Amino acid sequence: MDIVNNKSVLVTGGRGFIGRAVTKLLRRSGCAVVSLDTVSRTSSAADQIETEVLCDIRDSVKVQRVFEGRRFDGIVHLAAILPTAAQRDPVQATEVNVEASLHLLEMARRFGVRRFVFGSSLSVYGTCPADQVVSETDRAAPEDVYGAAKLYVEQLGEAYRQSHDLEFVSLRIGRVVGRGAESASSAWRSQILELLGTTNAVEIALPYVGAERILVVHVDDVAKMLVALLRTACPMHSVYNAVCESVVVDDLKREVERLNSRISVKVGEAHALGNPRLLDSSRFRQEFGVETLPMFEWLRKEAER
């Protein structure tokens, strides 16, 4: 599938952190993008060239009407209840992350969508030994509702691929950082970039112990990877680890504080449970060759803005 002018792509969760970056990149590629979300559009001029549908993906009737009103060449499925909220409300998380995803797969089958790209998570692997480099061939063992749902949707997608020739492909994503993350539970993911230009004394709280390793990736790089999966003629695999960087928390603290001495980064006592610390992303790198920036390069770029 080659994304060129006049191709139409549905992005669920299009107003979310990753969704905004994906829709922006797709529009630049000449795609007609339909964004599906429960959040209404902003009034910025850039949004006016994007079609947005205000819709909860649990509303199967309204979702079907979207497919009846327009033909889609591809889907990027990002809408989800995130980990903290999923643990707090497992019923809602199951309705959104599993049942609505299944209905979306069925709509893709019924209406002849060719490619279905799923935003999955490294949490499907669960907690791994600190020195284990995790590849797609390692056993998945999620430890929470969110990770289990991601793994199950991957298995549903594989069933649709085998039974209905739907080109389902999944990207397992790490901790995403960037401006505008708007995360109440992980504010540091945006603060380490947004506050680099501050002239006031500020503190950023990183929940992890200083010696811990975390797998991070910038939101713009995630968008590039998802679009690459959408536009490739024929992906060789149905599951890919995203290209993430393993960063030591103390090193991240020192770099942020070096770039702006007014920032103090306070480390916490948590460990990176539920996710790997080291990752093998060679499958994606070798097949797609998408260029990503190291995390400290992203920090330096933001500091120079």
Q: Whole-angstrom Cα distance, residue 214 to residue 174? A: 9
R_g over Cα of the chain: 19
The DSSP annotation for the chain comes to ----TT-EEEEETTTSHHHHHHHHHHHHTT-EEEEEESSPP---GGGGGSEEEE--TT-HHHHHHHHHH---SEEEE-----HHHHHH-HHHHHIIIIIHHHHHHHHHHHTT--EEEEEEEGGGG-S--TT-EE-TTSPP---SHHHHHHHHHHHHHHHHHHHH--EEEEEEE-EEE-TT---SS-THHHHHHHGGG--S-EEEEEEE-TT-EEEEEEHHHHHHHHHHHHH-SS-S-SEEE---EEEEHHHHHHHHHHH-TTEEEEEEEE--TTS-SEE--HHHHHHH------HHHHHHHHHT-
Beta bridge mates, 278: 133
The residue type at 200: N
Q: Which of 146, 160, 208, 240 is catalytic?
A: 146
Could you tell me the CA-to-CA distances from 57 to 91, 103, 116 in Å, in that order?
15, 9, 16
Beta bridge mates, 32: 8
Annotated active-site residue 146? The verdict is yes
Residue holding tokens 């006031």? 200
Residue holding tokens 């990770």? 147
**Mind telling me the catalytic residues?**
146
